[in-house]
Amino acid sequence: MALTPEQQAEIDAQRAETQMTARAVSPGMEKRLYTAHEVLDHGVVRVIDYMGDDNAIVQAARVSYGRGTKTVNSDAGLIRYLMRHWHSTPFEMCEVKFHVKLPVFVARQWIRHRTANVNEYSARYSILDREFYIPEASQLAAQSSQNHQGRGQVLEGAEAARVLDILRDDAMRAYDHYEDMLTPDEDAGKQGLARELARMNLPTNIYTQWYWKVDLHNLFHFLRLRADSHAQYEIRVYAETMCDIVRDWVPAAYSAFEDYRLGGVNLSGKAVELLKRRLAGEEITQETSGMSKGEWREFTEVWG
C-alpha cells in the first residue's frame, strides 16, 4: 500500500479547499493536483503545485502584454515550431512541483538530473518507514546477453521464488537491526545509535521521498531519457506516470514533445547518407555501411 488512511485524508482535505485566482490554470492539471498516483508497490507521484499552461508558452514566445494567444491552431503550430527548432526557453516558463516516493536505488538514477530543485526526507531527522520495493515476479529477469545495462529472460519458478525470499528476508532483517540499533534501553545499558548512523545498513530498495521541482523544458529532457525503453523499468514507470500527468497539464506541448522527441529519431550524418543510398536502391550490409555492429543494430531497429 502506497498511502496510509491518514495520508489519504490529508490529500482529500487539501483537494477540498479551493481558492479564486487571477492566475492561468490548466483544467487537466487541476484534476490531478495533490492526487496520489501509485507506482511500483509503495511508490507515489503527485503534483503539489504548478505554474503555467500551454498559453504561457506562446505568451512567452511572443513576449506578449496580455495572454498573447491567437487561434488554438496557430498556438499549437507555434508550440510545434518551438519544439522542432529546439527553441526551448518558452517551455521553461512552465514549472511543476512533484512529491515522489521512490526506492533509493531509483532515486540515485533520478538525482543525476541536475536541473531540478530537490528536498528529500531526512533520515538524519526522522526514522524511515519499513517499506521496501519487492519486484513483481514478472520483473525478475536474468542479465541481458546483448545489453550490459539491461535485463534478459524472466526468471522461472523456483529461482524467482528464491530471489523474492532473499529480497524480503534481507529487507526485514536489515530493518530489524536498524530498529534495534536506534532503540535506547536503559536496562540493557543501550543509548541507541543516532538516526544518521543507524540508517547505513539499510538496503537500496528502501523507499525515500522528496519534493522535486522542475521547469517543463528540463522535465521533457528527463522524460525523454527515463520514459525510453532503454531506461530501467523501475524509473520508467515513474516517468510514464508523469507523462500522463504532463499530457493533461499542457496538451499541445506534450503532443509536440511526443511527436518530435519520444516518437522522433536523431540521425547522424552517416545515417543520413545510408538512407539516401538505400533510397537510391543500393543494398547495404553492416560491412558496407561503415557503421559499428552496435550502431548498425540500432539503425536497422528503426529503419528495418
Known binding-site positions for dUMP: 109-112, 120-124, 199, 226
- For ligand FAD, which stretch binds (CB under 6 A), given 56-64, 168-176, 223-231, 295-303? 223-231
Please state at what angle helix 216-226 crosses helix 233-249, rounded to 10 degrees.
Answer: 140
Q: Which of 2, 8, 5 is nearest to 40 (CA)?
A: 2
Question: What are the beta bridge partners of residue 190?
Answer: 185
- In one-letter notation, the amino acid at residue 252 is A
Q: Can you read off the three cell numbers belonging to residue 159?
A: 529461482
Under rule CB under 6 A, residue 115 binds ligand FAD: yes
Give me the least distance between CB of 230 and ligand FAD, in Å please: 5
Under rule CB under 6 A, residue 160 binds ligand FAD: no
- Identity of the residue, 265 or 279, whose beta carbon is nearer to ligand FAD in the bound complex: 265
Q: Which of 80, 97, 151, 221 binds ligand FAD (CB under 6 A)?
A: 221
Task: Tell me the DSSP string of 44-110.
Answer: EEEEEEEE--HHHHHHHHTT-SS-----HHHHHHHHHHHHHTT--GGGGG-EEEEEEEEEHHHHHHH
- For ligand FAD, which stretch binds (CB under 6 A), given 9-17, 162-170, 224-232, 241-249? 224-232
Under rule CB under 6 A, residue 218 binds ligand FAD: yes
Judge whether 238 and 43 are in contact, CB under 8 Å.
yes
Give me the least distance between CB of 301 and ligand FAD, in Å please: 15
- Identity of the residue, 23 or 114, whose beta carbon is nearer to ligand FAD in the bound complex: 114
**226 has catalytic annotation:** yes
Q: Which of 223, 230, 228, 225 is nearest to 147 (CA)?
A: 230
Q: Which of 167, 181, 225, 267 binds ligand FAD (CB under 6 A)?
A: 225
Q: Which of 80, 224, 226, 297 is catalytic?
A: 226
Interface positions, 264-283, toward ligand FAD (CB under 6 A): none
Which residue of the chain is nearest ligand FAD when measured via CB? 114
Q: How many residues does the chain have?
A: 304
Q: Is 120 helix (H, G, I), strand (E, B) or coil?
A: strand
Give me the least distance between CB of 116 and ligand FAD, in Å please: 7
Show binding-site residues for FAD.
89, 112-114, 120, 215-217, 221
Show binding-site residues.
89, 109-114, 120-124, 199, 215-217, 221, 226
Backbone region of residue 19 per phi and psi (left: phi > 0; alpha: psi in -120 to 50; beta: other values): beta
Give me the least distance between CB of 149 and ligand FAD, in Å please: 6
Q: Which of 114, 124, 148, 293 binds ligand FAD (CB under 6 A)?
A: 114
Question: What are the beta bridge partners of residue 185?
Answer: 190
Under rule CB under 6 A, residue 97 binds ligand FAD: no
Q: Is 208 helix (H, G, I), strand (E, B) or coil?
A: strand
Under rule CB under 6 A, residue 230 binds ligand FAD: yes
Under rule CB under 6 A, residue 293 binds ligand FAD: no
Judge whether 55 and 68 are in contact, CB under 8 Å.
yes
Interface positions, 139-158, toward ligand FAD (CB under 6 A): none
Residue 211 CA to residue 250 CA, distance in Å, equals 21
Residue 121 CA to residue 128 CA, distance in Å, equals 9
Contacts to ligand FAD by CB under 6 A: 112-115, 218, 221, 225, 230-231
The catalytic residue positions are 226
